[in-house]
Amino acid sequence: MDFRLTPEQESFRNEVRAWVKQNLPKEWTSRVISGPDVPRVEAYKFLREWQKRLFDAGFIGLTWPKEYGGRGLTFLEEFILHEEMALAKAPPVLNILGIAMAGPTIIAYGTEEQKKRYLAKILSCEEIWCQGYSEPNAGSDLASLQCRAIRDGDDFRVTGQKVWTSIAQAADWMMLLARTDPDAPKHKGITYFLLDMHSPGVSVRPLRQITGDAEFNEVFFDNVSVPAANVLGGINNGWAVRITTLMYERLALGFGLQVRLRIALDALVGLAQRTKTNGDVASKDPIVRQKLAQLWIDTEAFKYTGARAITKLLKGEMPGAEASTGKIWWCETHQRLQDIAMELQGPYHQLMAGTDRAVDQGLWQYTYLRSRANSVEGGTTEIQKNIIGERVLGLPKG
């Protein structure tokens, strides 16, 4: 056990640090997340440019093979990169679903043509990806999805609906799960498609969220033609394709979550140090100190639990129980953090962006509301606990 970096890793850290110092956009938070006043398109445009710059500098797709635009590095460099981004409070990576989900799945299951066609453009953010999994009647019970894909010569014809599809309004491609064999048991008749979002018959309708913002969407397919060449991992094999890459997704997304938690925590500490309650700064209040210290500890625990999982991967072992807990822990900690941010603001917490009286231009109000989705999106906390209970602890299915 050793937390020190090797000279090579140290020099990689310095490389990232120096680059970020030079290239970090100023005042980006208020431009990207300030609620419905800033149109999403503008935010996406900014984040797209940011990812392109990261890519040009070689900081996107570190673990991907070199021939597909990656750097062939390990999860450790990825860990270092994310830690540095957190320290610098860097903007998020826009095409995260492409990088963390579509890409690794294509690397694992794709044909050579598919790899050549899609991977590099995911990294450069030339093509944005969204995830077409959930449907109105298939959320936590995803395998009961009904969106149909029917064979038609060299193509498939897709008809149905997806919902809660983040970033669909900007996406060029979708990872689509659709039913290709309605007679098979529900897990067996699903196929994983790579769907061109610009195809005729695809329509996207933004859904307004409790933030007032429209980040996710409904997506409708009306007899959309998808070439059979866009099947990933074989017909009726979609469920297996999805499951196999799940662990890598969790890890890769976990890096990003750690960054976001650390940035939010640092901001919260800053807020506590300048917000007065009863005549003194909140950070001197013993109860506030207890709550902030607990958040600090929980954020660190999240990082070290992730580090244990990475270590196993680096040694060529499969991560164990420690890899399964991150999502639940992150949601719980982040939602608590946002609750405390509201509490610190007292009556000011009621003010949204649009008045000088709002704290931090109303950013906290946005993130507070947005955080409610954390324990629903990407698998609800309840489903995560079922997974832990059944797959890690070996408890019987209900």
- Which residues of this protein are in contact with another protein, per CB under 8 A? 1-5, 9, 76, 79, 269, 272-273, 283, 286, 289-290, 292-294, 296-298, 300-302, 304-305, 307-308, 310-312, 314-315, 321-322, 324-325, 328-329, 382, 384-386, 388-390, 392-398
Catalytic annotation present for 249: yes
Q: How many residues does the chain have?
A: 398
Distances in whole angstroms, Cα of residue 164 to Cα of each of 4, 70, 241, 347: 42, 30, 21, 32
The least CB distance from residue 315 to another protein, in Å, is 7
* Pick 6 or 223: Cβ nearer another protein: 6
Distance CA 194, CA 226 (A): 8
Q: Which of 27, 249, 343, 377 is catalytic?
A: 249
d(CA 224, CA 392): 40
Query: Both tokens of residue 216?
Result: 């996710």
Q: How far is the CB of 89 from another protein (least distance, A)?
A: 17
Q: Which is nearer to another protein, 174 or 310 (CB)?
A: 310
Tell me how far apart the alpha carbons of residues 99 and 251 are, in angstroms, rounded to a whole number.
12
Rounded CA-CA distance 377/67 in Å is 33
Nearer to another protein, 153 or 394 (CB): 394
Distance separating alpha carbons of residues 109 and 193, to the nearest angstrom: 12
Q: Compare residues 210 and 318 and give the one whose CB is closer to another protein.
A: 318
| Closest separation in Å from C-beta 395 to another protein | 4
CB of 285 to another protein, least distance (A): 10
Radius of gyration of the chain (CA): 22
State the sign of the Cα–Cα–Cα–Cα dihedral 93, 170, 42, 362: negative
Question: How many Å apart are CA 318 and CA 13, to the nearest integer?
Answer: 26
Among 111, 198, 193, smallest CA distance to 148 is for 193
Q: Please, what is the minimum distance in Å from the beta carbon of residue 382 to another protein?
A: 7
Closest approach of another protein to the CB of residue 326, in Å: 9
Residue 11 CB-density burial (10 A; 0-12 exposed, 13-18 middle, 19+ buried)? exposed
Q: To 10 degrees, what angle do helices 246-274 and 326-345 make?
A: 20
Closer to another protein by CB, 86 or 202: give it: 86
Amino acid, res. 292: L
CB atoms within 10 A of CB 103: 30
Residue closer to another protein, measured from CB, 226 or 337: 337
Catalytic machinery residues:
249
